[in-house]
Amino acid sequence: MASTPLVMGVVNVTPDSFSDGGRYLDAERAIAHGRRLLADGADILDVGGESTRPGATRPLLEEELDRVVPVIEALAADGATVSVDTMRAEVAAAALGAGARIVNDVSGGLADPGILQVAAESGATYVAMHWRAHSDRMQDFTTYDGPVAAVVADELGARVDAILAAGVARDRIVLDPGLGFAKTGDQNWELLGRIGLVRDLGFPLLVGASRKRFLGDLLATGGTPRPVDEREFAHVAIVAALALDGIWGVRVHDVRATRDVLTALDRIEREK
């Protein structure tokens, strides 16, 4: 393990996220949750005001701003490294102004090309995820003309060209293969198994598998998927595999479990 992956803790300030929708919609609750994740070992807090679960509808711009800006201001004031999970240029700009240092754009600039200019002008780290359509119709786009990992790499490569052309520095770009976004469960597993094809693009990779449906399907009993909050053991197995594969970062809900796995792996590696 060349280096321990960064742990990005999820702070969903939404009423409808698949894992904890509504639990942290109140700003004070979201701030307290972020502080707990820091205490558990998060390196980055990813604050988002729009659910991207399959079938989700988009909030109004004003709603998204009202959800994330106060939370980012408070957590950044604490000294946390904060990422804003948004597809909107206006939200990215406001979040960076509030103290965020990373823009985590699940659309890779496709939903709102203006976000690339915001990232370029700010000098922020920009995370571009593989994306094909908004959440309300993304599962209509699961047909791939070739091996999934190869196609994802090609499509992300095209986004890299656009991101660089917008002026984002190469050393500020992080890529995300987009598990669960316009992908079936089998395609997610294929992508994880061949993630080296995406890494070969030459950029750090962030992977978010935490609590996702394909884990619930893997662990299903009698055809019923394992509940969202009972998928962590399978998730940390993925984290361990990715860590050994040299991943840059993992986006997770249970920071403590992830940190425990990474700490144990690091200790073993130091004895080799």
State how far the alpha carbon of 153 is from the alpha carbons of 44, 111, 181, 202, in Å: 25, 19, 14, 11
For residue 206, the cross-strand partners are 249
Q: What angle do CA 196, 102, 33 make, to 5 degrees?
A: 100
State how far the alpha carbon of 58 is from the alpha carbons of 48, 53, 86, 134, 246, in Å: 12, 11, 11, 9, 34
Find, among 218, 214, 215, 228, the residue nearest to 12 by Cα.
Answer: 228
Question: Sheet of 173-176: strands edge to edge?
Answer: 173-176, 125-129, 102-105, 82-85, 44-48, 6-12, 249-252, 206-207
Phi-psi sector, 222: left (phi>0), alpha (psi -120 to 50), beta: left
Find, among 131, 148, 127, 132, the residue nearest to 195 by Cα.
Answer: 148
Sequence-separated (6 or more) residues with CB below 8 Å from residue 139: 54, 182
Question: Which residue among 88, 213, 251, 259 is the active-site one?
Answer: 251
Whether 212 is a known active-site residue: answer yes
Whether 88 is a known active-site residue: answer no
Question: Which residue among 132, 212, 213, 226 is the active-site one?
Answer: 212
Other C-beta atoms closer than 10 Å to the C-beta of 2 total 10
CB 54 within 8 A of CB 32: no
In 177-197, which positions are buried (b, 16+ CB within 10 angstroms) versus exposed (e)? bbbbbbbbbebbbbbbebbeb
Active site residues: 212, 251
